[in-house]
Structure 1
Amino acid sequence: MTADIHVHQSIAKALADHGVDTLFGLMGDANLFMVDSYVRDHDGRFVPAANEGSSVLMALAYTHVCGKLGVATVTHGPALTNCVTALTEGARGHVPMVLLAGDTPVDNPRHLQGIDQRELAKASGAGFEQLRSPATASKDVARAVYRAQVERRPIVLNMPADFMWEKTTHEKHVLDVFTNPGGVAEGDTLDNAIGMIASARRPLILAGAGAVAARDQLVKLADRLEAPLATTLKAKGLFNEHPYNIDMFGTLSTPAAYDLIAQSDCIICFGASLHDFTTDQGKLMKGKRIVQVDVNPTAIGGGLHPDAALIADAGLTAETIVYWLDEAEIPSSGFTRDLDIEELTAHPAGPNKTGDGYINFVHALERLEALFPKDRILVTDGGRFMTEVWCRISAPDPHSFVPTVNFGSIGLGLQEAIGAAVAQPDRPTVLFTGDGGFMMGGINEFNTAVRMGLNLTVIVANDAAYGAEHIQFLDRKMDPALSVFEWPSFAATATALGGIGVEVRSDSDLEAAIDTLRGHTSGPALIELHLDPHDVPRMRI
């Protein structure tokens, strides 16, 4: 217990009590003194964003990449409304983070910026925690941190501005949290699942984001069964270097891998919710036995009903299955013995119809894949370009891959790339974004990356259009003019904002850009790929 201090100081001290060493945000009336105390009294690092929603996205990526709880702060009213898309992205992605949001004074119900902040947060899918009184400030911070970890979603802690200069007695409150629940599967359902697996001649193991921590156990099960391994998008990179890794499952599979999945007779799914993109709207699961293992009950049965559902820990369940297969002396399936993994993981390039003045996108991706260090952090925005990036640009592991697609929004990529780069500054971060996404959410934060001196390279896929809409007009033989835009030069803009910008319109331009950026680590750089809007590969989802 300490002597009386102000509430804004108690909140800052509570963050330090929880080991929060980085705070993303934008200051305003209701949080500026708390931020000041956090930086000056506790040596905290404050990353100032240009837009409030950006600070939430930065914190989400920070959580994902380094595994520590991301924390952001904004003031009240329009500051919080600017965060709705970002909070929804975090809630849909089950990412723990805390947003310290100021609120208008309790005694001024007609404040110009006053809104019902609880209802706003709830509408996004985030949780809401109220700072109840000056006396409970440290307890309320602890409660928000606790809930973010156990509920695995953003929690908004609402802080009335008129509390900030009230006095309180600070007490340290830190709730220890065990965040990996789940037991061992048992009973008839487990017996039935093992029976399905034991009788399968062509089993396949699918891992999602919920099974990332169980990699070793899943590999052991795959080796025991002689079963291929595949991942959902969010678990991209989990089985890198394994000889029977067929990479991503579903609409992002190679044609050969898609055919292999179609031939399988039993899919054993760990930590994967089996949505329409993974299952190709259920087509890939027809005629197969489906065993689904997940600690989250809501992940099972949403779009597809498995033949056996086990609410249990992925790793422990995989170990249990191996144990009983060995006890029963079940022979391996032999499914992997004649597989050609090189063929199964090769994405065809397709015809090159790129016009003059443009770079072929697939060729550019293949060159960039070779350029960037393997220990990269890969971030992708939403948009028409993204599926080719997912298929052709590698990530070393799922924690190094940040796809901003939980809410189907564009314009979130650069903000999350900043959070990823702040989380691990010694590693290169690479962002792929489209022209529309960069205009929507990139330009206003590129200078934030410059100010922070981040080791960040931004690749802008510029087809001078909102590409997904452009292709829909063309498909219906309509004039696509409304989807076409004359953007400014993104490379020149990046240079004007303090970074390095390079334009690419040809193979020779691309090689020159690669020479310019090879070994560059001092601040952000941007490569603008000018793409033919009529020759950008179609989305695979």
Structure 2
Amino acid sequence: MNGAETVVKFLQDKGVTCGFGYPGGPVLVLYEAIYKLKFNHILTRHEQGAVHAAEGYAKATGKPGVVFATSGPGATNLVTGLADAKLDSVPLLAITGAVARDDTGSDAFQEADITCVTEPVTKYNYFIMDESELLPALEEAWEMTTSDRPGPVLINIPKDILATSIPADHNATNKVRRHRPQPPESETQIPAVLEALSQSEKPLMLVGGGCNISPSAPAALKGIVDAIGLPCATTLMGKGTLAADQRHYLGHIGMHGTVQSNHALAECDLLLIVGSRLSDRVVALPDDMRAAVRTIIHVDIDGSEVGKRIRPDIPIEADAGKFLSGLLDAVTNNGWRAPEVWQSWRDMLEDLTIRFNRLITKRLAATDPLRASFIIDRASHLFAGQDPLVVTDVGQHQMFAAQYFKIESPNSFLTSGGLGTMGFGLPAAIGGSYGCPERPTVLVAGDGGLQMTIQELGLLAALDLPVFIMIMDNSTLGMVRQWQTLFFDEHYSQSMLGNNPDFVKIAEAYDITGKNIHTVEEFDAAVSDFQANPRPYLTRIYVETFENVFPMIPAGKGPGDLIMPGFEA
């Protein structure tokens, strides 16, 4: 086999059932191997679409996403997606072509030093300069995508190596063994955690994306919350780890989180953080958080994240599921009971939750024009019980979806959290739906972000997937406009989209059903049509231009500065 066939055969042996990509000159021999070996390749309309589709597939299925690109601009078009995957801990294997070894460093046609370009945005990357390195690098890269904290790994292969014969007796198991000292077993630290909980009066558990990634975490998390009544909030990436109606669940936390979750963060005397790196959108003022008299316990599989922003009293480097399972076992086997003093804390948080829910319910009414918050809440009700895969782009609609769309299972809220990548939504929805075609996929997108990768409607039509697209058309870059309203004296500098295209006609040009939506009746009818015939369906929903996302904590402020019009603490 040549190098290209070796790559494809390796992927098949690992059980990879699909890869996303776009061909080009230096990878033609790789695409010939894809053809000969009948590998399932999905042709996107742009390399950025390919990498975001691979992300969506990986987030929805838990399996590594695979993406192919050619050298030069093909490879550089992957950079945003790789950075997105690194921040959100998404397992990706990117395979790129390169100019021939003899031409390396000569500024040859479509040459780019993708190894150096992607070094900051990948977990690791490889530049193969000897054919004997190919199989060992593939083996190590595959393991690295999913081991410990998942992430993107890139392998850059010169085109002459792709065409070179690779001896069958090359021992792929001779990969480099990287020595990493093992952290203390989390079980040894659980007694200290239970002792800290025993001494607390106002505890809060903060759950991040690590609890979605670790397969055993959601069940153990629910067991703990049920067993001891520990108040719990999630980050944006942690949504879905607990059901929306789970008792003692306070909703998601941070800049646009609920009143009750942010109040709990401000007032707790013990903070147990599991599977979160505590980004600035969760805790904007880490020094203030540490200065308060409270006990902080930080659990994360990535030791470099533990204490990076807030120094914990009890640092624990462990997989979220392993830690939570151990904690649940200790609570169950030892008959541990929550201190009685917790009850007044829980009662106060429950009162805040009831009053907050009452306020937002009053705001959810059909208006003319429609409000994005209302229509997303409506979609949540119409898709309830179907375990939809909910995907968002980035902006106001993303926060409305986080607030109003009830997520029914883990790994079912797919969004760009750390990087905040506009254009993520459509290709990620395609990748997620391809991995889970038995479930409806609902894409909530903005009129700005959708246009960044709108060409992937061609791929959606080709695959004929059950994706229901909700374009929140407010003719503005909503989140930018909101900040300009609140903090920049209503100076709407370059945030108004005055000439949006006819999204419905574009959808119809791709042979996708499209509907313009002005009323709730029209929206209900569109959802009914889609559910009766689950194929690609695009709705352009005309929504109020100046609706703001609340609650909101201004940038650089703490939870005590939360803005929620109409709510009195």
Determine if the alignment matches structure 1 residue 15 to structure 2 residue 15. Answer: no
Q: Rate the CA distance shift 1:163–1:246 in 2: closer, same or farther, 3 A.
A: same
Question: Which residue number in structure 1 is paired with residue 430 of structure 2?
Answer: 418
Match of residue 446, structure 1, among 453, 457, 462: 457
Partner SS state of residue 309, structure 2: coil
Q: Residues 205 and 225 of structure 1: is their aligned pair in 2 closer, same or farther, counting only changes over 3 Å?
A: same
Matched position secondary structure for 2:304:
helix
How does 1:169-208 map onto structure 2 within 5 Å? 169-171=167-169, 184-185=185-186, 192-208=192-208
Match of 2:225 among 222, 243, 255: 222
Cα distance in structure 2, aligned partners of 1:353 and 1:426: 32
CA contact (8 A) 1:230 1:245 kept: yes
Which residue, 289, 300, 308 being the options, matches 2:306? 300
Map 1:232-381 to 2 at 5 A.
232-240=235-243, 241-279=245-283, 281-282=285-286, 286-318=292-324, 320-321=326-327, 331-334=337-340, 335=342, 338=347, 340=350, 343=354, 346=357, 348-349=360-361, 356=368, 358-373=369-384, 374-381=386-393
Q: Percent identity?
A: 22
CA–CA distance in 1 between the matches of 2:222 and 2:355?
18
Structure 1 Cα separation of the partners of residues 218 and 361 of structure 2: 31
| 1:535–1:353 Cα change, 3 Å | farther
**Equivalent pair of 1:237/1:396 in contact (CA under 8 Å):** yes
Q: Is the 8 A contact 2:430 2:460 kept in 1?
A: yes
2:108 is matched with 111
Which residue in 1 is equivalent to 2:561? Answer: none
Look up the equivalent residue of 1:294 and give its one-letter code: D
Q: Which moved more, 1:243-252 or 1:498-507?
A: 243-252
Kept in 1: contact 2:8–2:39 (CA 8 A): no
Contact 1:129/1:158 (8 A) holds in 2: yes
- 2:541 aligned residue: 529
8 Å contact from structure 2 (residues 204, 264) kept in 1: no
Is the 2:220–2:328 contact (alpha carbons within 8 Å) kept by the matching residues of 1?
A: no
Letter in 1 for 2:162: M
Asked if the contact 2:101/2:129 (under 8 Å) is kept, the reply is no
Contact 1:275 1:281 in 2 (8 A): no
- The 10-residue stretch of structure 1 (161-170 or 448-457) with the greater mean CA deviation from structure 2: 161-170
Q: Distance in 1 between matches of 2:517 and 2:420?
A: 28
In 2 relative to 1, CA 144–507 (structure 1 residues): closer, same or farther, beyond 3 Å? same
Give matches, 1:390-405, under 5 Å: 390-405=402-417
Match among 90, 96, 105 for residue 85 of structure 2:
90
1:272-324, Cα deviation, whole Å (9 max, x unpaired): 22223223534677443221122211221122222221223444444555666
SS of residue matched to 1:480: coil
SS of residue paired to 1:132: coil
Q: CA deviation at 1:162?
A: 2.2
Give deviations 1:166-211, integer Å, cap 9, x for gaps.
223235866699x9x8663366x65544332111123222222223
User: What is the SS of the residue equivalent to 2:242?
Assistant: coil
Deviation at 1:266, TM superposition (A): 1.6
CA deviations on 1:479-525 (whole Å, 9 max, x unpaired) are 42632121111122111111111111233432343343332313x11
Aligned to 2:496: 484
Aligned with 2:510 (options 481, 486, 497): 497
Corresponding residue number in structure 1 for 2:562 = none
- Inter-CA distance 136–302: structure 2 relative to 1 (3 Å threshold): closer
Distance 2:298 2:322 in 1: 14
Distance 1:33 1:269, change over 3 A: same
2:56 to 50, 56, 61: 61
Q: How far apart in 2 are the matches of 1:395 and 1:101?
A: 36
The two structures have a TM-score, normalised by structure 2, of 0.85
| Aligned counterparts of 1:291 and 1:330: Cα–Cα separation in 2 | 19
Q: CA deviation at 1:129?
A: 1.0
Helix, strand or coil for the counterpart of 2:399? helix
**Alignment-mate amino acid for residue 216 of structure 1:** A
In structure 2, the CA distance between the partners of 1:248 and 1:344, relative to structure 1 (3 Å rule), is farther
Per-residue CA deviations over 1:418-451 (Å, capped at 9, x if unaligned) read 110111111111111111101112x110111100
Q: Is the 8 A contact 1:59 1:419 kept in 2?
A: yes
SS at match of 1:218: helix
Deviations 1:89-138 (A, max 9, x none): 11111222111100012223241211212111214345211223334433
Which of 527, 539, 542 matches 1:514? Answer: 527
Give 1:78 deviation, angstroms.
0.7
1:366 shift after superposition? 1.8
Tell me: CA distance 1:304–1:509, structure 2 relative to 1, closer, same or farther (3 Å). Answer: same
Aligned mate of 1:75, from 54, 64, 70: 70
Alignment of 1:426-441 (within 5 A): 426-441=438-453
Alpha-carbon contact 2:365-2:374 (below 8 Å) kept: no
Does structure 1 residue 385 correspond to structure 2 residue 391? no
Matches of 2:373 and 2:302 in 1, distance apart? 38
Q: Which amino acid aligns with 1:161?
A: K
CA contact 2:63–2:91 (8 Å) conserved in 1: no
Partner SS, residue 315 of structure 2:
strand
- State the distance in 2 between where 1:401 and 1:353 align: 25
Is residue 482–residue 548 contact of structure 2 (8 Å, CA) maintained in 1?
A: no
Letter in 2 for 1:92: L
Partner SS, residue 385 of structure 1: helix
Deviates more, 1:143-152 or 1:344-353: 344-353
Offset at 1:387? 0.8
CA distance in 1, matches of 2:210, 2:117: 28
Change (3 A) 1:386 1:34: same
CA distance in 1, matches of 2:502, 2:124: 40
Judging changes above 3 Å, is the alpha-carbon distance between structure 1 residues 173 and 360 closer, same or farther for their aligned structure 2 residues?
farther
2:44/2:456 contact within 8 Å kept: yes
- 2:9 is paired with a residue whose SS is helix
For 2:512 and 2:548, locate their aligned partners in 1 and report how far apart those are by CA, in whole Å: 27
Partner of 2:514, secondary structure, is strand
Does the CA-based 8 Å contact 2:256-2:549 persist in structure 1? Answer: no
Alpha-carbon distance in structure 1 between the residues aligned to 2:262 and 2:117? 42
Q: 2:469 matched to which residue of 1?
A: 458
SS in 2 for 1:38: helix
Where 1:158 maps in the other structure, the secondary structure is strand
Q: CA deviation at 1:349?
A: 4.8
* Matched pairs, number: 531
- Would you say the 8 A contact 1:231–1:248 is kept in 2? yes
Does the Cα contact within 8 Å between 1:98 and 1:145 map onto a contact in 2?
Answer: yes
**Conserved 8 A contact 2:258-2:551:** no
Gaps of 5+ in 1: none
- Residues 1:99 and 1:200: Cα distance change in structure 2 (over 3 Å): same
More displaced stretch, 469-478 vs 295-304? 469-478
TM score, norm. by length of structure 1: 0.89
SS at match of 1:458: strand
- Contact 1:354–1:535 (Cα < 8 Å) also in 2: no
Separation in structure 1 between the aligned mates of residue 356 and residue 309 of structure 2, nearest angstrom: 27
Counterpart Cα distance in 1 of 2:309 and 2:382: 40
